[in-house]
Structure formats: structure tokens, C-alpha cells
Structure 1
Amino acid sequence: MGTQTPAVKLAMFVAALAFTASFSLVGSASLSIETDKQALISIKSGFINLQPSNPVSSWDNSNSSPCNWTRVSCNKDGNRVVALDLSGLQLSGSLDPHIGNLTFLHSLELQNNLLTGPIPHQISNLFRINLLNMSFNALQGGFPSNISAMAALETLDLTSNNILSTLPHELSLLTNLKVLNLARNHLFGEIPPSFGNLSSLVTINFGTNSLTGPIPTELSRLQNLKDLIITINNLTGTVPPAIFNMSSLVTLALASNRLWGTFPRDVGHTLPNLLVFNFCFNEFTGTIPPSLHNITNIQVIRFAYNFLEGTVPPGLENLHNLTMYNIGYNNLTSGNDGINFITSLTKSPHLSFLAIDGNNFEGQIPDSIGNLSKSLSILFMGDNRLSGSIPPTIGNLNGLALLNFSYNSLSGEIPYEIGQLENLQSLVLAKNRFSGWIPSSLGNLQKLNNLDLSGNELIGGIPTSFRNFQKLLAMDLSNNKLNGSIPKEALNLPATTKLNMSNNLLSGPLPEEIGSLSNLFQIDLSNNLISGEIPSSIKGWGSIEELFMARNKLSGHIPSSLGELRAIKVIDLSSNHLSGPIPDNLQYLLALQYLNLSFNDLEGEVPQEGIFKNRANVGLQGNSKLCLYSSCPGSESKHDRVVKVIIFTVAFSTLALSFIIGTLIHFMRKKSKTAPSTEFVKGQHEMVSYDELRLATENFSEQHLIGKGSFGSVYKGILKQDVPVAIKVLDVIRTGSIRSFKAECEALRNVRHRNLVKLITTCSSIDFSNMEFRALIYELLSNGSLDEWVHGQISHERGLGLNVLERVDIAIDVGSAINYLHHDCELPIVHCDLKPSNILLDADMTAKVGDFGLARLLMESANTQSSITSTHVLKGSIGYLPPEYGYGMKPTTAGDVYSFGVTLLELFTGKRPTDEYFTGELNLIKWVDSCFPEHIMEVIDDELTEVSVDLEYEGRTISSEMQKDCLTEVIGVALSCTVNTPVNRIDIHDAVSKLKSAKHSLTRPPK
């Protein structure tokens, strides 16, 4: 090669440099995409329970480039990931911190998933991102401390999470931010005035939080702002006048705060682009701004629940796009035209919600009401002073779902045309002056679930067409002048829970078909002329709690089937012509709180138990043939009674003397000591006195106090013959304590099982302050509660907690007790409050279930179980209650199984269901389920994993692998018990069998 000139050498150097630079860029790109790939793999690992059909499950490290992965987008050169859209994939788990390595991301969409845990602070590394949407998850914690580093951010959407934080001032440094949506979280504190510096903002949504303080005037500087939404908070003060001058606003929603003041009259001119104006549930005074009706494109106007006065200003005919007009519950009045402003609203073809209720409007309803929008679904005009009749044109509004004209002075007949409203779900015409017959056309309203015609002057019979009300939940026809008998067709109401026909002129007998109302909670037929006997078919009212039939002409005997209504709380059959005895089984209705049988013709002996023990809650006056045991007619004369008493006394004294002499001879001949004190426990069933208990506990001193519960305190004490006992003293002042006492006695009356805490005796007396005193005396178990063992308040002598085998034994003990209650008792018992603090351990570490204060006896029907308790009150402890109890379902055996499953999870994880770790939608069950079965040891109690490594059993070592297999089986049982739907839960019998199998696999000898 010849000699090279300087120019050639320079050209070669430049080419070499270019080649090197090119190689360097390729290497850099390769490294960058590899970084993104590994970050995505780490992000995937944070998701749990990924189904094969989930797009994220296809992400694989063996693929050449993540740019080919679903829901991942790269730049045009394919060397960096720039967008990640994982929205709506039902992803659960947490967001991995490696998300911060995707530094070229412009868009991150994670909305509509099930993500939990905190927002990783590494997310602030995404300084190029302009769209960040994590809404509708269960993320918790606060904001990343360096969130201001995300300088390019334009959209931040964290709606519907569990973020607990103040609004960080650092957000005001995100100068490119256009959308700031933090609604439905737990934000508190005041809105920082520095947010007025976010000049690019288009949307602010802080709705449904706990923000306080005033609205900063500085927000009015946001000249690009279109949506200002701060509803459902605790803001106070007035709205800065400058806010009403933000001409760019499209949505101004500050409802449900504590704001006050008046509205500027020219608000319609200063907010010309407004579509939504929402200030309901505040404290504003003054009048509706007339100029508001000049905003021709406005869609929503809401002033409800303020203190506005004056009339509705003109101009409604200009609002052709209006969908909602709600001015209810103010102090508005009518003008000279009454409520003819409704005619103006006929020019709004999209109107779906109209509410003018709760004001002082007068006048008649115009015929033009029938010309309102066919889209109108809600029409509220109640609680005014309207008069006249309802125009028949109302039948044109066939889109109506809710119609309320109650508490007015409307008169005339109920229009037949209302029967044309085929979509109607609620019809409320109560407290008016309607007369005439109930139109049979109402039977056409097959979607109706609420009918209230009470407090009118309606006459005639109940239409047989009511048999079409298959979805009706509540019907109130009370306080009218309805007559005739109740047609059996009108009782074909399978869904009805509340039926009120009181204060009418209804007559004739009650049809047997009345018993088909199987879902009734309350029925009131009082103050009528109903005659005949009470049908025995009422036993079909399995859920009823309140029965009113007072002041009628009912005759015959009270049916014994009334005593089968185990859930009933109130019975009023007073002022009728009932005869015969009081059914004996009424005294066994444990839920019954009030019984009125007064002013009838009843006879015979009054029962002595149950509600009859407290005569203050029983009305019996006006029944001259009733008697207490000691005063019943036909009893012998005084002389005869004296003779019998003398004879009985002599005979009894002779027998007693013989017994005493024989006993003394027996003890004198005995060489050994008396039987051990445990025999006292086995044989003692007599009630003890208040004084005995006071002495046993040293006047109920603090040093004897061993626990407190919902209805009282528990003390340890020593009864005669040195028997240690636990004494549960009820707080009789507390509502429900006496019912708890009775429930516990009833539940434990005939139960005997080695894994149930033994009730020795009871005390029902008067204390030294002449106050009622009630106590339950149990055997004292020396090893405390399971709660204390699981959470470290008690341990073995060497300082060790419960090992795997001990916990499995306890689980089997508890399951066996519940299985006995559910399947081996004469009447199944639901415990209703199973949890570790109600499980006690004796000296041999045998677990026993106690505290039956909420227990419920079940009665079996063909396919269902129903209990004696209310459908409307939650029974049990938060965290252990099955979800169906929250929807009103009565206690069932499946509910106990759920509580047992939660108890198992707590026993083996060491975490309570109410642990502060669980926030939002994350709970103990989901947490464990997320690691089951592959990563089960991640949720097992740390103490258990440390202690059980060298577990010894009958001279051999149980390996950690065997223990893990056993734990997997046990946790599987727990998760089968805690399925959301009761019908899919495992039965307690099968659960115990599986637990015994798990123990067998742990303890079986090696082959």
C-alpha cells in the first residue's frame, strides 16, 4: 500500500470514528432494550394468579424482543419500551419497583385491576412519562416523595384506590400536568394554594375524600381549567368569587361539602361554557341565578339540599341539552303561574331526572307534564303544597322508574293511566287526599318493587290484579278506607318483606294463602274489621319479626304455629275476640321482646318461662279468665291446701332426717377422702347466689378480672370445695345482654362435648345495690385463649410458641366442636362468633370453644335453615363475619364454617383479619390465597417456621418438608371454608376429615 496523504488519513479516521460510534449506539440500544425486558419480567413476577389466557402470561424471557409482547409498545427503532397498557386485565399482586427502569415510558396504564400495596417510589424515575393511570385498584400508602421528578407528566389518574395522604405540595412542580384525578381515596388536609401554579391543568378531580379548609383563591389562575370537581369532602367557607369568573370551566362540582354564601346573579354570563353545575348538599342561601338558565348548552343543574329562596327564574325553555334539574329540598316558592315552569322543561328532550320535592311549591300539576322527555326516569315532586289531581297525561311518561308525589294535597282519583308506566319500579303517592278505588291497572306494573298509597281516602277493595307484583318488596295501603275482604290473589307476593294494610275497613277472614308470604319481615293488619281465626299457615312466615293484628274481630284460639316463628320480636294481637289458652310454645321464642294479648277472652294458665318472666313486656290485661299458677280457678280450698302442706312437710321431714342419718353413717365408715373436686364440677347444676360469687372473686376485684367481652366481664374465682371457675358477669344495662344470657343458656342446655367449654351453673339474682345480677359460671381453663398464644402473650415454659402439630391438633379440636354443634345436636346450633379469643386451652392444651352469647338455634325446613335472630343486625365480630351476613342473610352453619376458616388462617399465619396490613380490598383471605400453594411459606407465621424445623414426635424428627406439606393441606382447608358464596363452602364435617388427614400425613411412621 502506498504512502497515504494527510487528507486520506483524516478521511480514514473519520470513517473509523463513525463506525465506532455506530457500533457503540447499537450496543447501547441492545443494552437498553435488554434492561426494559428484564424490568418487564420483574413486573410480571409481581402479579399473582396469572391465568394462561392473560396477555401478560405470554411475556417470556426467551423471546427476542419485548416489542413483540402483547400490551407493550416500543419506539419506531424498536430499542426502547415507550408505552405499557395493562388496563382491565384483572391483575392482582403489587407493582414491582423495577417499573422505574422503564425510563423511556411515555404512557403507563394500569387502571381497572386488583393491584395492592404501595406505589413504588422508583416510579418517579419515569421522567419522560406524560400519562400515568392507576385508577380503580387497591393501591395504598402515600405519594412517592420525589414525584416532582416526573416533569413531563400530563395525566395523573389515581382514582379509586386507598391512598392515605395529604395533597403533596410537590405536585405543584409538575408544570406540564393537564389531568389531576385523585378521586375516591383517603386524602386529607387542605388543598395547597400552590396548585394555582399548574397552568396547564385541564381537570382537577378530588371528589370523595376528606379534604378540609377553604377553596384556594389561587385555583382561579388556572385559565385552561375545564373541570373542577371537589364533591363529597369537608370543605368550608365561601367559594372565592374569582372561581365564578373562570370562563373555561365546563364542570363546576362542589357538592356535599359545608360551603356557604350566595351565587352571583351573572354566573351564567361568566361561565358561558358550563355543562355541569353541581352545588347540592351545601349551605347556600339567596336565589337561583337567573342567568344560569341562559347557558344554552348546560346539561346538569343541581341545587338540592341548600337554603335557596324565591321562585324558579324563567328561561328553562332555552336548555335543550338539559339532562338533570334538581332543586329539591330548599325553600323555593311558586310564582303567579304555580309550577308551570314544568311546561318550559318540555323543550328539554334529553331530561332524565327532575326533582322539585321538599319546597313550598303550590298550585296544580299542569297537563303539560305528559309532554316531558320520554327519557325521564326519575320524577320527584313530593313534600310540597300541590293541589288538584294528577293529569292523565302522566301515562305518557313510559320511561319513568321512580315517581313520588307524596306529602301534598293532591285529590281526585289515582289516574288509571299510571298503569301504562311499564318501567315503573317505585310509586309513592302517600299522604295526599286521593279518593275512589285503587285502579286495577296498577297490576300492570310488573317491575314495581315499592308501592305506597298510605294516608289517603281510598275506598273499595284491594285489586286482585296485584297478583302480578312478583318483584314487590314493600306495599303500604294503610290509613285509607279500603273495605271488603283481602283477596287471596293479592297475597301472591313472593318477594314482599313489608306489608301494611292497617287502619282501613277490611273485613272477612284471612285467607290461608297469607302464609305464602315467606319473605315477610313485617306485617301490620291492625285497626280493621277482620274476623275469623288466625290461619295456622302463618308458620310459613319464617323470617317475620313484627306482627300486628290488634283491634280487629279475630276469634278462635291463637294457633300454636305462632310459636314456630323463631325470628319474631313483636306480637300484638290485642283487642280482638281470641279465646282459649295461650300457646305454651310462645315462651320458647327467644327473640320475642314484646307480646300484647290484652283485651281478648283468653283463659287458662299463663306460661312462666321466656318473655313471660318479664311482665313489663307482656300485655295480658282484659283477659279475666287468665290466671297465674297460684291463682288458677279450680284450685283446692284454703283448708285443703293447709292439710296437704302439713302432710307433705311431715313426709318430707322424715325422708330428709333418714337421708341425713344415712349420710353421716356412710361418711363415718369411709376411710378415704371425699371425692376429688372435679366431681363437684360434674354433678353441680344448682344455681349459686350472688354472695357466693362475690366472695369467690373478692368482691369482683381487678386482680380476679381475666377478660372483657361484648356483654360483660369474666372473673376467675374459687367456689366451694376449691373448684376453680370462670365467672362471666353480664352488664345488664347493655342492650342485648339479657338476650345474650338467654341465648347462651339455651344453646348450652343440652350440649356435651369434650371441645366445648362446660357451663357449670348460673346465677340470676339481685346485687347489694338492688340491681339485677346475672352470671354464667364455667369451668376455668388454665392455659388461656388461643388468641393469646397466637399473638405471643402466652408461650411454653421455654419461651416457645405453638408448633405445627399443636396448631393442627387445636384446629381439629375446634372443628370437632363446631361439627358437633351443627350435626350432632337435637337442634343445630350456630355459634355466630367463632374466633381465637373465644377458644380456650386447658392444661393438656386441648382446645375448647366458648362464649355462646350470640349462638342461634336453627330450625330446619325442606331445603333451608333459618335462625331465631334478626335479618337486619350483624351478629359476630368484624373480620370473622361471612360476607352474606352483611347483605341481611340470617346466621347459618355455612357462616360458622367461614369464621372457622378465618380462624384457621389466623392460627397458621399469626395475622388477625383486622391487621393494619390489610387495607382497601386486600384482606387476610386474599393475601393467603395469593401465595397458595407455591409460596405458602411466605405467609406462614414466622415463629412457627422457626420453631418447627426440628419438631420431635414420638421419638422421631418430622422434617420441614413434611411440615410444609401438612401446612399446605391445612391452608387449603381454610381457603375452602372462606369461599365468598356459602353454597360453595366445604361442610365442617369434611373440613375436620381433611384436617385429620393432614395430621396423619405429618405423624405417620416412615415406611
Structure 2
Amino acid sequence: MVSLPGLLSTLSIVSLLLFSQLSLSFAELNSQNLTDREALLSIKAKITKDPTNTLSSWNESSPLCQWSGIRCDQDNRVSTLNLQTLGLTGFISPYIGNLSSLRYLYLQGNQLSGSLPDELSHLKRLQVMNVSSNLIQGNIPLNITMCTKLTIMDLSVNRFSGQIPDMIGTLSKLQSLNFAQNQLSGTIPRSIGNLSSLVTLNLGTNTLHGTIPDELGKLHRLEQLQLTLNNLTGTVPSSIYNLSALVNFNLASNELYGELPSNIGFLLPNLLIFHVCINSFTGQIPPSLHNITKVQSLRMSHNYLVGSVPPGLDKLHDLTMYNIGYNQLVGTLDFITSLTNSRNLTFLAADSNLFHGSIPPSIGNLSSTLSKLYLGGNQISGTIPKSIGQLSNLTLLSIGNNLISGEIPSEISHLKQIQELDLAKNNLTGKIPALLGNLSRITQLNLNGNKLNGSIPTSFGAFDNLLLLDLSNNNLEETIPNTIFTLTSLTSLLNLSHNYLTGPLPREIGMLGKIDAIDLSSNNLVGNIPDSIGQCESLQVLSFSDNLFSGNIPNTIGDLKALQSLDLSANKLTGLIPEVLEELQALQFLNLSNNDLSGTVPTEGVFKNHSAINLQGNPKLCLSFDSCASHRKKSKVIIIAVVSSISLALCFVIVLLFWALFMKKKGKDARVSSINNSIKATYKMVSYDEILKATRNFDPTYLIGRGSFGTVYKGTLWDGMIVAVKVLNLTIKGASKSFAAECEALRNVRHRNLVKLVTLCLSLDFANNDFQALVYEFMENGSLEEWIRGRKRNENGESLSVLERLNIAIDVACAMDYLHNDSGGTIVHCDLKPSNILLDKEMCAKVSDFGLAKLLVNPSGETEAISSTGGLKGSIGYIPPEYGFGGKPSTKGDVYSYGVMLLELVTGKSPTDDLFVGGLSLEKWVRAAFPDEVEKLVDPVLCLKGHTCSPELSLESQMKCVVSMARVGLSCAIDTPDTRCTMQDALHELKSIKKILLQS
């Protein structure tokens, strides 16, 4: 039996032990709580800016668990740190790793910089980590994979670089992985396929390359797949199309190719978003896509899809976006009627395809929510339906670059929300409706390249938000309304060029103080250039050329400090060249040619660079003071000589008049016989009647194309020979000279890569008018331009392969080397471009169109024997810089044009592409990417991906070939003539490239 004192003694010991244990527990908790407190204060110390003063509560006077953004668990340990969207600036302290009980970390929406601390790996209980939308850089820590309980990991919208850790696949509990909008490189780790719980995978907007791993097809719970804006290549693994839970399928802006499965709509029945735009997918639009009745957004633009739009669009009631632009789709626009059931549609694009027919009137029945409508760049004809005015919420309407005719319907003025209106490059006629002035929100109005007449509506003065106005290349008349120049919102472009506008330029032009470019060239404007032009302080490009301006060049132009290009050529300007032009540091191009300027030419600034200025056609100008003084002395002698010569001149004129009357009586036959006898002697001649029979009375169905000086028809001669007949339009200035130049250039040349001139026609038509035609061998495969633009393809629907492009480049180089060096006299082509390179049945390239050719006495090009036309030689984009500043045609000019053509072969981009604005050119674009990033610029239709065009050649060797071709193109297209390679050098280099390619 235990005594009472013993029992009490035992209880006392037990109590002491329990108290001791509790004291230790409390001490341990206090110690852990203190560790959290110190960690948080260290985190606060790394924050340099706290705009909301949120962290002021983090101090010693308040309990830890009451601090702003902090939540604790039942043990008073920090379990949540939430500092999102506070505008914090600073760094993430490595002491964050001491918050050992942390489960939820929210730091998104701040301006935190530096790197992500390695110490985050200590957070073994962390489930959610969101540091998105900051400025964090460096690599993703490899040991982040030690946070094995992570379910959400969001590092998006930062500056992370390097590769995605291969061990990312060990985070088996991950449901959401978001690394989008960083600078990550390398490939997509195959281990991601092990994340069986993954619902969201977003790696978009990085620089990831390689193929999409087939292992991603194992993510059967995946709903969100976003790999957009990377450099991914290859085909999409078929396993990806079996992820039936996918709601968002976004692979846009990569380099993927192959066909989309025809049954994709059945494989992915839950899709709401399907974006595969800006890739190289081929084949047809899968009809099953239109069976996904809940789909909201379909974007398939900028691919190589063919065929027509499949039926079923009428079932897609929830559709908000349908974008099939920039493909090769055919058929009519009848599918628009089916889309009238999509009452939530906000975006519709079918531009830059091959659609034909008219715009259906049902377009007005599309959703009232429709905001953007793109139908430009097709072959649409007919008129603009009046019903288009019913689209009351339209902010953008683009139907330019079509064949639309008729007048602009006044109903367009009902589009009160419209901001961008593009009706350019059609066949629109009639007057511009004054009611368009009611479009108060419009920012861009483009009506250029039509046949509009009448005056510019004064109502346009109500455009308070207008940034760009382009009415160029029409038949507009009368004066420019003063209200146009009061549009102070105009900051981008005012282009009224190539019309018939008259009258003086009002001083209100100075109100356009923020505008970048003004082009009023090729009109009939008169009077002085207003001094107020100097108030346009932001002006970078100014062209008043080809008008009737008179008086002096105003000194106020010297106030245009941003001016880069000034063209006042072909006017009636007089007086001195203002010395203030020397002070314009930004000025790179100055054309004052064909005026009546006098005095000494300034010598500083832009005038130091003779290739940057054009002063031709100003006979009173002199290069120095001494030469001007000498000129004045000589002028006295000249006056006496002129007066004494007048009598002789009058006598000579009288004789000429009698001679002209005599020649007129001899009739039209005398004019025909005056054509160069040497040309007649060289070529076999055919009659006008024979040409008429060969072309079936110039049947429009035989029309091949149109050139600068004439029209080309396909024809069949009496002996069955198929030919191309170029009929000269003799009403065009320079056409006869072009005819003579072409005959002279081809008279003594023979080469397999030059189009053969078969015969000529110098005759009279049945109306007794002069008739001239050139008859060439017919080239079955059309022009190189047609192949580059995708208007021609081979029987397999493929474009030119790498090897075919290289062969064409070699063929052209052979022809040009022959003309420059081996033709018995140096011939300069002056207009080398893809439309003048023709391909025969065997795809052999031949140079054609010598209408601008120059025959030089010696290879230096200093003396010219013949010329076709006066003025600038060549086509925009291919003209070497020195020609624009008065330089004489030379072999170096041809080399430059050849270089541009070679870069076009590689990239598929025309030098006049809309991409090349603001000083950017095709050559500069390629040079900036050379050599490391040239692959990104390669023409996407090149058969590199599956190399079906050249299966015998490896992808690597083809890409090396393309880069080498770009290198040759760049060495040809150098601005300075003396530093360009010769055509012989280019030919030798290209042949070496071919040899290496075929040996690989």
C-alpha cells in the first residue's frame, strides 16, 4: 500500500516533468516564430519602394500574424505570404527560405528584380508559388524541383533566361505550370510528360526551339496548352490531338507544318480556343472543326491552307473570332451568310486569299458586336453592299487590294464607331461621299489607288482624331480644302499625290506640326511654297515634286530638324539653294532637280555626300563662287552670240516648216520607214495582220501581263510556234525608245539564259496608226515573281525548292555576267527584278525586258551609246541608291538589283513589302539578322520542313545553302557601288555553294 506522502511525491515529480516539457515546447515555438519574424523583416529590408505603405505594419510592436499580407497556421507559423499587386520595388531576400511552414507565396504584379533565390528550395511545404509579372531575371533555379508539393508554379511575365530544368518533371503534383513571356531558350523537356496531374501548361512567348515532345500526349488531364510565339519546328505529334480534355489549343507563331487532322473536331470535342495561326500548316481547313458547336475562337491565318471554307459555320453560335486570312483559300464569300448565326462574333478576317465573287448583301446581318472586318487582298469584285452600314459597332473595315468597282456607298457614314477604313487599290469610281466626314472617330482613312474623281470633301475637316489620310493615285481635282491642313491630329501621313489637284498651297499647312510625312507630288499645285511649312517640326519626309510651284525655296525649311527626305524636283522654283539645308543633320536625301535654281551649291551637311543629292536640270547652278563669276563673264558673250543667231534660227525654222509640210504629204509610210534601218536589217519582220491572227485579234483570254510600255499576249505564229507578243503602247512617253533599246540590246547577243527575240513588227494598224511589237519565245512557267508570290506552283502544289532557287540564281547570274563581260560590248539591263525573270518548261531561268537597257562603250559605264528613256532607270525597291541621286547606269547598278532579287528569293519578301517603312529596307532587314538569325527570315513556303521538294538533301545542308545565298545577296546589295562584288564574283560563289550542297 502506497503511503499518501509517497503518492504526493510521485505526483509532484510527474507535474514537474510535464511543466518542463511544456516549457520546452513553448520555447521551441517562440524560437520558430522568431525565425519567421526575422525572415520577414529581412524580406522587408530588401524592398526599396513600397508605394502603398503596406509593410509599415511589419514591426516589433504588433504580433507577427497580424502583419499585412501574412496568414499563420494553428501553430502561429507563417503559411501564406501575399504581397501581390502592391507596386513593390526591390529584391526577393534569400531569407524567404527560412519560412519553413510557407504554403502559399503570392508576389505577382510588382516590380521585383534580381534573381530567384536558390533558398526557395527549402520550402518543402510550398504548394503555390506565383511571382509572375515582375522583372526577375537569370536562370530558373535547378533545385526548385525540391519543392515537391508544388501544385501551381507561375513565373510568367518576367525576364528568366536559360533553359527549363530537365528535372521539372519530378514535380508530380503540379497542376499548373506557367513560364510564359520570358526569354527561355532550349527545348521543351520531355519530362513534362510525367506531370500526370497537369491541367495548364503555358510556355508561350519565349525562344524555345526544337520539336513538340511526343510525351506531352500523356497529359490526359490537360485543358490549357499554350506554346505560342516560340521557334518550335516539325509537325505536331499525333498524340497531342488525342488530349480530349483540351479547351485551349494554342500553337500560334511558330514554324510548325503538316496537315491538320480531318477529324480534329471529333478528337478534341471540348475546344473553345483553337489557334494555329502564323505557321506553315498545309492542306484544307478540317470540316470537323465546324462541328465543335461551343468553340469560341478559331485562328488559322498566315498558313498555306487551300481549298474552300467547309460548311457548318452556321452551327457555331458562340463564335467570337474567325480568322482565316493569309492563306490560299478559294471560292466565294458565301460563308459569310452562315456566320450571321454567330451573334457574339467580334472579329472576322478572310484577307489575302484567293476569294472571288462579290461581297454578299447578308454581310449587314452579321453580329452587331462585330468590331473588325478584314477582306482585303483577294479577287473580290462587284460593288460594296449598302447593308455594310448596318454593322454599327465596326471599328475597322479593310477591303482594299481587290477588284471592287462602283461608288463608295454613303451608308458607310453610318459606321459611327469606325476608326480604320481601308478601301485602297480597287476600281472605285465617282466622288468621295461628303457624309464620310461624319465618321468622327476615324483615325486612318485610306482610299488610294482607285479612280475617284471630284474634289476632296470639305467635311473631312471634322476628322478630329485622324492620324493618316491617303487619297493618292486617284483623279481628284480642284483645290485642297484649307480644312485638311487644320487637322492637327494628323501625325502619321498626309498623301494626296498623283491626282489633278490645283491651286496654291495654303499657309494653314503649318498647322500640321506633329505630322511625320507629307506627299503632295504629281499634282498641278501652283504658287510659292508657304513659309509656314517650317512649323511642321516633326516632319521626316516631304515631297512636293512634279508640280508647278514657283518662287524661292523658303528658308523656314531649315526649321525642320527631323527632316530625312526632301523632294522638290520638277517644279519651277527659282533663286538660291538655302544654306539652312546644310544644317539639317537628319537629312539623307535631297532632290531639287529640274527646276530653275541658280547660284552656288552649298558644300556642308547633306551636300558633302554627292550620292545623297540630285541637282540635275538646273543649268544656272554652279559648284563654287569662282565658277559662278566665270559663268557671268561668259554670259555676256553668250548674249551677243544668241542675238546674232536669232536671224539664222528663224531662217532655219522656216525651212523646217516647209520640210514638215512636204513630209506630211508623203503620208504615214515615211514615219515607219524612218525606224532604224539596222534594226530592220537584223530581224525578220512580220505584219500587223500576222500579229492580229497570232493573238486572235488580241483576245483578252490570251493576255499574259502588262508592262511599263505595253501589253503582252500569248500567240501562235503561222508555223505553229507559240510566242509571247509584246505590243508597245506608243502613246506612252518613251515607248518607242524602249522598243529601240530592246532591239539594240538583243541584236548581237545570244545566250541560253536570255529570252530569245524571235521577230519584230514595224507596221501600221488598220486605222493607219503606227504599230510596234516584239515577238519573243514563250516561257511556259511564267515569271519568277509569280512563283515567289505563290501564284504559281508545281504539279504537287509546292513552291520552289532550295535547289531550284539556287539554280535560278545561277542562271540569272550567268546571263548578267555574259551581258557585262562577254557580249562584245557592256550591256547594263537597268531593270533586273523577278517579274523580268522568266522560266521555261524545264525551269531554266531567262532574263527578259531590255526596254531600259544601256549599251556602254566601255565597262566603266562612263560613256553611253544608247538609252531607252530619260530619268531614273529601274523599278522601285531594286534601283541602286546612286541612280536616285543622278548616278549613271553601270554594271554595279545591275549587281545591286541582282542582290535585292537574291534576298527576295531567300525571304519571299518583296522590297516594297509593307514591312519596309521608316528607313527599313529588305537589305537592312536581312543584314540585321545575318548570319545567326537568318533562318527566321527564310521564306516559309520553302520546302525545308519536310524537304519534300528535295528529299535527297538534308535539312541542315539546305539551310546552310540558304544562308550562303543570303550572304551573296548582301555582298551585292551594298549601298556603296565600289564595295559591291562583281557579277562574275557572285556567279563563282553561287556555283561553289551548289557544289557543296550536292556533295552534302
TM range, normalised to the smaller chain?
Answer: 0.5 to 0.7
Distance 1:12 1:590 in 2: 98
CA contact (8 A) 2:535 2:559 kept: no
- Correspondence for 2:88 among 88, 91, 94: 91
Per-residue deviation at 1:261? 0.9
Q: 1:96-147 deviations in whole A, cap 9, x for unaligned?
A: 1121121211211000111111211111111111111000111122233322
Matched residue, 1:569: 564
Q: Does 1:594 align with 2:592?
A: no
Superposed displacement of residue 382, structure 1:
0.7
Question: 1:8: Cα distance to partner?
Answer: 9.3
CA distance 1:493–1:639, change in 2 (3 Å): closer
| Corresponding residue for residue 368 of structure 2 | 374
Tell me which of 65, 68, 88 is aligned to 2:66. 68
Letter of the aligned partner of 1:62 in structure 2? Answer: S
1:27-66 equivalent positions in 2, closer than 5 A: 27-51=27-51, 53-63=52-62, 65-66=63-64
Aligned equivalent of 2:444? 450
User: Could you tell me which residue of structure 1 aligns to residue 522 of structure 2?
Assistant: 527
The alpha carbon displacement at 1:594 in A equals 3.4
In structure 1, what is the Cα distance between the partners aligned to 2:569 and 2:204? Answer: 53
Q: Does 1:313 align with 2:310?
A: yes
Give runs of aligned pairs for residues 932-971 of structure 1, distance below 5 A: none
Instruction: State which drifts further: 78-87 or 569-578.
Output: 569-578
Shift of 1:574: 2.5
The alignment partner of 2:201 has SS state of strand
Is residue 465–residue 490 contact of structure 1 (8 Å, CA) maintained in 2? Answer: no
1:422 to 392, 416, 436: 416
Deviations 1:431-455 (A, max 9, x none): 0111111112222222222111100
Task: Output aligned runs, 1:85-484, within 5 Å.
Answer: 85-334=82-331, 338-484=332-478
Instruction: Name the CA distance, whole Å, in 2 between partners of 1:167 and 1:585.
Output: 58
Q: Is the 8 A contact 1:147 1:170 kept in 2?
A: no
> For 1:637 and 1:251, how far apart are their aligned partners in 2?
83
- C-alpha distance in 1, partners of 2:326/2:630? 63
Native 8 Å contact 2:406 2:429 kept in 1: yes
Contact 1:32 1:79 in 2 (8 A): no
Alignment of 1:727-738 (within 5 A): none
- Is 1:503 the counterpart of 2:502? The answer is no
1:124 match: secondary structure: helix
The separation in 2 between residues aligned to 1:528 and 1:395, in whole angstroms, is 33
Which string of whole-angstrom CA distances, capped at 9 and with x for unpartnered residues, describes residues 669-689 of structure 1?
A: xxxxxxxxxxxxxxxxxxxxx
Deviation at 1:610, TM superposition (A): 4.8
Distance (Å, rounded) in 2 between the aligned partners of 1:355 and 1:591: 40
SS at match of 1:73: strand
User: What is the rounded CA distance, in whole Å, between the counterparts of 1:275 and 1:289 in structure 2?
Assistant: 16
Note the C-alpha offset of 1:536.
2.1
Alignment correspondent of 2:533 = 538
Contact 1:600 1:623 in 2 (8 A): yes
Query: Alignment partner of 1:33: what SS?
Result: helix
Amino acid at match of 2:437: G
Change beyond 3 A, Cα 1:403–1:6: farther
**Conserved in 2, the CA contact under 8 Å of 1:46 and 1:95?**
yes
1:57 deviates by: 2.0
Cα shift readout 1:236-264 (whole Å, capped 9, x = no counterpart) = 11111011011111111111111111111
CA distance in 1, matches of 2:467, 2:237: 47
CA shift in 2, pair 1:187/1:6, >3 Å: farther
Alpha-carbon distance, 1:560 to partner: 3.2
For residue 17 of structure 1, report the CA deviation from its aligned partner: 6.0
Change (3 A) 1:623 1:471: same
* Deviation of 1:32 (Å): 2.5
Taking a change above 3 Å as real, the CA distance of residues 148 and 623 of structure 1, as seen in their structure-2 partners, is closer
TM-aligned CA distance change 1:17 to 1:599, over 3 Å: same
Report the AA paired with residue 70 of structure 2: V
Distance 1:55 1:455 in 2: 60
Cα distance change, pair 135–481 in 1 and its aligned pair in 2 (3 A): same
Provide the rounded CA distance (Å) in 2 between the counterparts of 1:223 and 1:156. Answer: 19
Question: 1:351, 1:375 within 8 Å by CA — same for their partners in 2?
Answer: yes
Indicate conservation of the 8 Å contact 1:252/1:274, yes or no.
yes
CA distance in 2, matches of 1:637, 1:428: 57
Which of 530, 555, 572 in structure 2 is aligned with 1:560? 555
Aligned mates of 2:58, 2:288 — CA distance in 1: 58
The residue type equivalent to 1:506 in the other structure is L
Partner deviation per Cα, 1:39-74 (whole Å, 9 max, x = no partner): 2111111111335x42122111232x2111111111
- TM-aligned CA deviation for residue 387 of structure 1: 1.0
Change (3 A) 1:585 1:83: closer
2:77 to 66, 75, 80: 80
Is the deviation greater in 87-96 or in 489-498?
A: 489-498
Change (3 A) 1:270 1:616: closer
State the identity %.
Answer: 48
Taking the TM superposition and a 5 Å limit, the aligned residue runs for 1:458-857 are 458-496=452-490, 497-607=492-602, 610-612=605-607, 616-627=611-622, 629=625, 630-631=627-628, 635-636=632-633
Amino acid at match of 1:146: N
SS at match of 1:210: coil
Instruction: Give the letter aligned to residue 40 of structure 1.
Output: L
Whether the 8 Å contact between 2:50 and 2:87 is mirrored in structure 1 is no
Shift of 1:154: 0.3
Q: Return the alpha-carbon distance in structure 2 between the equivalents of residues 367 and 513 of structure 1.
A: 42
Against the structure 1 CA distance between its residues 13 and 366, is the aligned structure 2 distance closer, same or farther, given a 3 Å change threshold?
farther
Deviation at 1:616, TM superposition (A): 4.9
Counterparts of 1:871 and 1:309, CA distance in 2:
34
Whether contact under 8 Å (2:167, 2:191) holds in the other structure is no
d(CA) in 1 for partners of 2:635 and 2:204? 81
Structure 2 CA distance for partners of 1:294 and 1:4, relative to 1, 3 Å: farther
Question: What is the alpha-carbon distance in structure 2 between the residues aligned to residue 227 and residue 28 of structure 1?
Answer: 45
